Amino acid sequence: MGGLLLAVSLASMALVKSNLHYYAQEGKLADVQTELQRGVPVDELDENGLTALMYAVPHGRLEVVQLLLAKGADPNVKDRQGDTPLIRASLPGHESIVQLLLEKGADVAATDRTRFTALHAAAQKGHVGVIEKLLAKGASLQAKETGGASPLHIAAQQGKLDAVRLLLDRGANVNAVDSQGMGAIFRAAGNGHLETVGLLLDRKASMTSTNPLFGTALHSATREGHLAVAELLIARGAKLEAQALLQTPLWIAVEKGQVEMVKLLVAKGANVNPSSGRESLLAMAKAKGNLELIELLRSRGAKE
């Protein structure tokens, strides 16, 4: 997410037009009030294109936020990356500030330049309390950022189990796909989030991409060497001979030299002589000089 400046450097501080931004960031309520009383505009921009509200919000300065809003600060102002105060409050999980901004008219559907919403931000960090508040104000479960990821995709990618559960309970489509044709389970599997993968499977997530280039969730787990996730997927019916770019999960494991993954896949019945791939598995292992893989494949009947 662009634009989330959680601290301002000393060099930047020398460029601000007043001390309002610094006082807002540091939660110095009396000093903020003094600056406003002497005529500093409440929505004055500093050299970073930020208002005082944009500094107070991510730091959790609730009293300062209350004062600034009471003095007319714009709750829907955007920084240069398109972030709003609501997005900046949702990412660190400041529930009280999120609630206040919503009460003051913050747009729950506002996006940054990458179409990232406040709900995406809360999902990324697993802030279920913030997610609840955003959904209560009509945040869209179907909102997609520029890569086609919904809040569910983002939560699954980060392994935020409680957030994933909440989003599913509220109606998120477990099989919604991103711009590459992959569901949330692909992101969870590729990042090794075992419990999240299990939950998604319980909710009937498809293990197959709508884009044949990316294969299955087992391909995702195999590419990153997530053994426990691969074992779970296989136990839940993942197809060992499914192909992505003519590569089976076993082909990928051999190509990456993942001995333990290869052991798992062949133990579960993966074909050591698949018709896919640019060369045989045994020839690939020999080219890499991986003696353990060579012996393992030979013991299973692999041919050159």
Residue 78 confidence (pLDDT) above 80: yes
Kindly state the percentage of the chain with pLDDT values over 90.
87
CATH class, range 1-137 = mainly alpha
Whole-number Cα distances in Å, 198 to 4, 187, 234: 32, 13, 12
User: Domain locations in the chain?
Assistant: 1-137
The DSSP call for residue 189 is: H
Judged by average pLDDT, the poorest of 14-23, 185-194, 245-254 is 14-23
Residue 6 confidence (pLDDT) above 70: no
Residue 295 confidence (pLDDT) above 60: yes
Q: Which of 114, 110, 80 is nearest to 98 (CA)?
A: 110
Give the predicted TM-score (pTM) of the model: 0.91
Instruction: For residue 117, list its beta bridge partners.
Output: 111
Tokens 């406040």 correspond to what residue?
A: 118
Contact 95, 79 (CB under 8 A): no
In tens, the pLDDT along 19-77 reads 999 999 999 999 999 999 999 999 999 988 999 999 999 999 999 999 999 999 999 99
In tens, the pLDDT along 105-125 reads 999 999 999 999 999 999 999
Residue 208 confidence (pLDDT) above 80: yes
Contact 77, 45 (CB under 8 A): no
Question: For 8-56, where are the alpha helices, taking DSSP H only?
Answer: 10-13, 20-26, 29-37, 52-56
- HSE value, Cβ hemisphere, 13 Å, CA-based, for 127: 23
* Position 214 confidence tier, pLDDT thresholds 50, 70, 90: confident
- How many residues in total does the chain contain? 304
Main-chain phi, psi angles of 244, to 5 degrees: -135, 120
Q: Which of 146, 196, 192 is nearest to 167 (CA)?
A: 196
* Position 165 confidence tier, pLDDT thresholds 50, 70, 90: very high
Following DSSP, what letter does each residue of 271-282 receive, concatenated? -SS-S-SSS-HH
Cα 238 to Cα 248: distance, rounded to the nearest angstrom: 12
Whole-number Cα distances in Å, 47 to 13, 28, 94, 223: 9, 21, 25, 44
Cα 244 to Cα 234: distance, rounded to the nearest angstrom: 17
Q: Which of 43, 109, 104, 124 is nearest to 79 (CA)?
A: 43
